[in-house]
Structure 1
Amino acid sequence: MSGQPGAPSGGGGRALRIDTVAIIIFIFQSLVETLRRPPVFRSTTLLCALAATTALPPPAPPPAPPPGKAITAPAAEVPPLRFAACPASVPRPPAPDRVECGRLSVPLDWNRPHGRRIEVAVSRVPASGTPAERRGALLVNPGGPGGSGVPYAVTKRARLPESVRRAYDVVGFDPRGTGASAPADCGPMGGLFDVPAPDPVPAGPAAEGAYLSSLRALADDCAAGTGEALPYLSTEQTVRDMDALRAALGEPRTHFLGVSYGTYLGAAYVAAFPHRTGRMVLDSVVGPWDWHDFDVIQSRALLEARDTFFAWAAAHPDRFGLGADRAAVRRAYLDARARLADRPAEGVGPAEFDRAVYRALGRTERWAGLADGLRAYLRDGDPGGLRPEAGSDDPATRTYEAANRAVKCADSPAPTPGRVLADVRALRRLDARPLLTGLEAASCAYWQHRPTTRTPLGSPAAPPVLLVASAHDPVTPVRGAHALRALLPGSRLITLDDDHSHGVFASRGAPCVDTPTATYLTTGTLPPPTTHCPGPGLPSVD
């Protein structure tokens, strides 16, 4: 564009360049002539030549970048991002809002930017407010690892406070290895998708040996199916993709809302790009530990949540009919699981049962469905209420499970097989039938790509971020928020007390959480360092 401040334009610019060339030619000729003259005349001629150089105009400043364009990413690495209509699989927001989709080309390995490239799927719902209200682009991630962010931009945006919807383009993306972004393929995954699958809780040497063999087979299947991409389906590579997305969108900073694994992703972005970190909300925080350590912590928290569920169901014996005290409900639960282990029903065995329980414990609004499912199976033999929501034949489920293992095993050192068995035995000492569904990083014991360091998280050079947590979240226990906070100086923490669910902001209907979080995103004003909000308590029963 012509007419940039400080940059010549039109014919005057051409004339100036011609005059400059003429002066340089004059100086050169003068110096040559001086060398031919006697020494007495040389000094005078040189002084004239030097005086001529002062007439040269100063070099023009480089052209100013177009407004809103990032200036840090090389154009060769960040091609333009063009948006068009989304595929039918992406939900549509209600009019007048719209969603648009694009694909961003990035290197498979950012350390070899000119090597093989992959494409990252992106979606965007533009801000609904006026230009004066706009604050930029808000990247969102739903968790996992393995969750697809392209549809999440639509579904999460619909629940955000109106002030946030007016201020931000909400941008979703499928992290590499997930959804439509070079999806990971682990094939049969060591029998993980067998229906019904074997009992996932090993008891005794033979079962433990079979358990380790299944982990080895899963790792081998991922290595065979994913091939050379396996080491690069990592959080550290994904945050490089995020920064490329920031540049392609023309944003100077990355504003981000991450839930569950999205908090780990956000903290890794802070570590890699502290000076490009904008307003960041990390909701339901994954602690800064090796992935296997986190999985074990989660498994212990799930046992506590399950005991709370037993007591809650017992408090409503007329509604659920599972018993009038916690011990009675527990016996009913174990009876249902034992029957399904002996004789799976309609594709539901102990592994499917555990997956359904794992999912239900993460949100208290699912507890009634789990209790109803137990009653229906014990009374009528109907296992429908104990079936996982997504079947193993669902391509999205297969991609999710593959990406989950690939990312976890690329992010931190692996446990040894002996350590895996020791942790399983310790969990069984706490409860003979623990929930091992979340021990996903156990397969890293046999992974072919074995990192020696953990993904860096947080940075003292970054601006403060806002952490949000539920006091009794069994999926990402609140201790993870306190541990990550130590790596994010100046960060704030909002805790929803008396709550037992996973996912808080624009999810639990808590104004004490939603209002200050929205204020931070729209104005940059942070809440007090520590805020406790009253939670909803255990679910009511109609």
Structure 2
Amino acid sequence: MPPAEHRPRRTALCARPALCARPALCARPARRSGRAAFAAVTFLTATLAASLPAPAAHAGPTLRFGDCPDSVPAPPAPDRVECGELDVPLDWDQPHGERIRIAVSRVPASGTPAERRGALLVNPGGPGGSGLPYAVTKRARLPESVRRSYDVVGFDPRGTGRSAPADCGPMGGLFASPAADPVPVGRTAEAAYLRSLDRMADDCAAGVGAALPHLSTAATVRDMDALRAALGEPRTHFLGVSYGSYLGAAYAHRFPHRVGRMVLDSVVGPWSWYEFDVRQSRALLRQRAVFFAWTARHDSRFGLGDDPAGVRDSYERTRRGLAAEPQQGFGAAEFDRAVYRALGRTERWEPLADGIRTYLRDGEVTGLRPDEPHDSPAARTFEAANRTVKCADGPGPTPGRILADLRATRRVDPLPVLTGMEATTCAYWHHRPAARTPLGSDSAPPVLLVASEHDPVTPVEGARQLARRLPGSRLITLHDDYSHGVFASRGNACVDSAVAAYLVEGEVPEADVRCAGPGLPEPAPTT
């Protein structure tokens, strides 16, 4: 229980929480096998083969669960995970046309039937993040009351993982090793930068083909509602992190009367994807300055400089050295990707500082390399799905706007981190939507938004702006925190207890909630 000064006052969302004693669809525990295929799944509609009898008027999509692929970890006993596939139209406006399969996983609730509140869909972010293993990994960190109350359901959104994965091939040289410097300086470099975006859009058009306009948030929202129906649930309860918050807000707009208890964590603001990327790039500069100051305060530990300017000099020498002489395919672009990843979570700052020190001392980049190669199959699918979804969600920028913003960002800081500027590709996209994906609704019930005060990946202003599109909703802010991902992630009792009370009992805070955060970490001493 959090200290009294941080404990939120709450009012009930409804007089009596809805209970669902419906037994699980598959009572027999699934046996896990690496060779086991996904369970067979049918989608019952009147468009099935003529030899089959027409279904009843109430018939809808169904799921049958069975074994999971090896990419889904086994939960601790006695919990079990089960997987299946949901058959949906590629184009929801053409329901009798081509179909795709959405991969689904589920860990049943561990409580009694009387405790059960329904199914909680979860999404880890992206766009491009695989949700299939997330049902297991996120559930393990949820408060026990939530685990007892909900079946936790993960799914790979269309275009990701095992759900019609997007393939953009070489993506304009994105996977070259070492890649070109991602910060263009001068007109020649700027022109080359724009040409790479044009090639990337061409590669996605060729690789994704006719599916290009249909791998979108709007289509995934309709997949989510089909999944709700297949699970036999009257409402969609949802926990979305990062891009998952955007997905939840889009669902609330399309299906406001089917929204159950919805938690939007580390919120993407209601901007175009390109504007969001620009805002993120500026927030990363602020976060990097904090990282430089933090590293300087611990100079006896890292030895990179005893003031922020000295640490920045060490940082710049590392980047210049890798740009001039990449090490085993690790150059300036790869370094920027490592920095981008590290700035989003404070527990990654110490390894980043150690990696810079090791490079300057020994010329080694092992400490800066990611655990998974940037060109691995999973990473390739993520990068392709990320651009495909962003560019399907609304009009892109003009090339002139891109160059103007690049120059403006370089005036703020001559060495920005532009790794997250994925929506620049949309300037050359082959299918250009006429309008942006709408978010939020006056008709949706109150939802909870959760944000970290200094999150550089999804700046807190996005949560404040999205809250205005969801009347009656409340924002829980973790103050003095600098990381991305808050609920059941930062280990903060104030945040976790307020969100659990909402999910389990339907209690909405009377006002926005302020929780005290951990501040910046103390690095481990050298050994």
**Distance in 2 between the 1:179 and 1:237 partners?**
16
Matches within 5 A, 1:252-331: 252-331=234-313
* 1:484 alignment counterpart: 466
Q: Secondary structure at the match of 1:176?
A: coil
TM-score, length-scaled by structure 1: 0.86
Please tell me whether residue 224 in structure 1 is matched to residue 206 in structure 2: yes
Give yes or no for the alignment of 1:410 onto 2:402. Answer: no
1:74 Cα deviation after fit: 7.9
**1:519 is paired with a residue of what secondary structure?**
helix
Alignment of 1:145-184 (within 5 A): 145-184=127-166
Q: Does the CA contact (< 8 Å) of 1:121 and 1:181 recur in 2?
A: yes
In structure 1, stretches of 5+ residues that fail to align are 1-65
Distance verdict in 2 for CA 1:105–1:74, change over 3 Å: closer
Distance 2:46 2:502 in 1: 35
Q: CA deviation at 1:67?
A: 7.3
Instruction: Please give the alpha-carbon distance, in whole angstroms, between the structure 1 residues aligned to 2:22 and 2:180.
Output: 58
**Larger helix proportion, structure 1 or 2?**
1
SS of the equivalent of 2:404 reads helix
C-alpha distance in structure 2 between counterparts of 1:494 and 1:389, whole Å: 32
8 Å CA contact 1:352, 1:388 repeated in 2: no
Does the CA-based 8 Å contact 2:23-2:113 persist in structure 1?
no
Return the alpha-carbon distance in structure 1 between the equivalents of residues 152 and 244 of structure 2.
15
Say which SS state the counterpart of residue 132 (structure 1) adopts: helix
Match of 1:469 among 436, 451, 454: 451
- Tell me the residue number matched to 1:394: 376
How large is the RMSD of aligned CA atoms in angstroms? 1.4
SS in 2 for 1:526: strand
Q: CA deviation at 1:79?
A: 2.9
What does 1:350-429 align with in structure 2 at a 5 Å threshold? 350-429=332-411
Which of the residues 429, 432, 437 maps onto 1:447?
429
Out of 121-130 and 524-533, give the one that drifted further.
524-533
Aligned residue among 467, 475, 488 for 1:493:
475
| Distance in 2 of aligned mates of 1:222 and 1:532 | 43
* Contact residue 258 and residue 281 of structure 1 kept, 8 A: yes
Residues 174, 180 of structure 1: 8 Å contact kept: yes
Matched positions, count: 474
1:160-181 deviation line (CA, Å, top 9, x unaligned)? 0000000000000000000000
Give me the whole-angstrom Cα distance separating, in 1, the residues matched to 2:465 and 2:139: 29
Aligned to 2:439: 457
2:61 and 2:227 in contact (8 A); partners too: no
Cα distance in structure 1, aligned partners of 2:412 and 2:92? 44
Question: What percent of counterpart residues are identical?
Answer: 72
SS of residue matched to 2:435: coil
Runs of 4+ in 1 over 2 A off after TM superposition: 66-69, 73-79
- Larger Rg: 1 or 2? 1
Partner of 1:508, secondary structure, is coil
With normalisation by structure 2, the TM-score equals 0.89
Are the equivalent residues in 2 in contact too, given 1:68–1:251 (CA < 8 A)?
no
d(CA) in 2 for partners of 1:395, 1:88? 15
Partner SS state of residue 347, structure 1: coil
Secondary structure, in 3 states, of the residue corresponding to 2:508? coil
* Aligned residues of 1:219 and 1:447 also touching (Cα < 8 A): yes
In structure 2, distance between residues paired with 1:219 and 1:162: 45
- The letter for the 1-side match of 2:338 is A
| Equivalent residue number for residue 341 of structure 1 | 323
CA distance in structure 2 between the aligned counterparts of 1:433 and 1:276, rounded to whole angstroms: 46
Contact 1:348 1:386 in 2 (8 A): no
User: How many angstroms apart in 1 are the aligned matches of 2:188 and 2:46?
Assistant: 55
